Amino acid sequence: MLSASSSIAVNHSALDPVTEGYLQRLRMLRGWSTHTFEAYCRDLLRIQRLLEPAQATLYNASTTQLLDVFSQLQEALSIASQQRCRSALSTWFTLLQDEGVRKDHPLRHLPALRRHHRLPKTLNETDVERLLEAPDCSSLTGLRDRCMLELMYATGMRVSELVSLTYSQLDMSARMLRILGKGNKERLVPFGEEAAYWLQQWLEQRCMTSAWLFPGRKGQKMSRQNIWLRIKKYADEQGIQPSPSPHTLRHAFATHLLNHGAELRALQLLLGHSSIGTTEIYTHVSRLRLHQVIRQAHPATTRRPCAS
């Protein structure tokens, strides 16, 4: 019997051809990226293998059998990972209903998992400045890295969006980027003078034979892991702990905008969130910052109780 904690490689070929065909159809209909498609395949493969001892499949599993699977997942996965598996399975059964393969939806009446939202890790404005100034811009690599960091902080783009940027998506005269986000959704994001300055410096030096705005070695597309390692290197050099990830700059962008009075709806558009509920997590971070300001600056916090 396969345990819930067993390691399952991202290999969608382990799924049967019919199941993979259905998922490919979903991928086309919903505009999934390769990363999203692989995640769905991985989660459904995990569930499929946990159903095997009960001689059930992804097509005929009952609510009772799925509850047993979820109890095994509960012992092995975080709440967020359990929720992702349930979401993948719910999408799967909805597809089976739409295709007329199955009449019922066995997850329809199950209670939702209680998920504790963790506040995103961010950087204060001083640490961001230290990180941005860390690259040695006398070298071509350092200049590229400085420009990438400036642009990430100026726009709040995801690292996957950054590595996919081409020169055609950049409008220097309008200071705008046309960013291709999740589900191939486009959004226009402006950037400020500082990012524009470093972009101009980089454009004068970059390899014009590459299609990518920030190419890696031999003009090839950079990997997300490479950017993560570059940021970790600069953070370590500056003594910034804990070491930030590329997504930390996105969180810093959002948090600092809210701290300086940006509207939540505008922030949603800039970040490319489909739901404003996703953006609202940053209001909690801002509230924590406001509490800190009150504690440090308000005179009432220094008062002492009257003597009896």
Q: Residues near 140 by Cβ (< 8 Å), separated by ≥ 6?
A: 205
Cα(124)–Cα(86) distance, integer angstroms: 35
Q: Just list the catalytic residues.
A: 158, 182, 247, 250, 273, 282
Q: Are 165 and 214 in contact (CB under 8 A)?
A: yes
DSSP state of 178: E
Tokens standing for residue 98: 């739409």
Residues 50, 52, 55, 61, CA torsion sign: positive
Tokens standing for residue 218: 């031999």
Three-class secondary structure of residue 195 per DSSP: helix
- Cα angle vertex 260, ends 259, 262, to 5°? 95
Please, which residues bridge with residue 176 across strands? 171, 190
Pairing of strands 176-180, 170-171: antiparallel
* Beta-carbon count within 10 A of 277 CB: 9
Cα(161)–Cα(156) distance, integer angstroms: 10
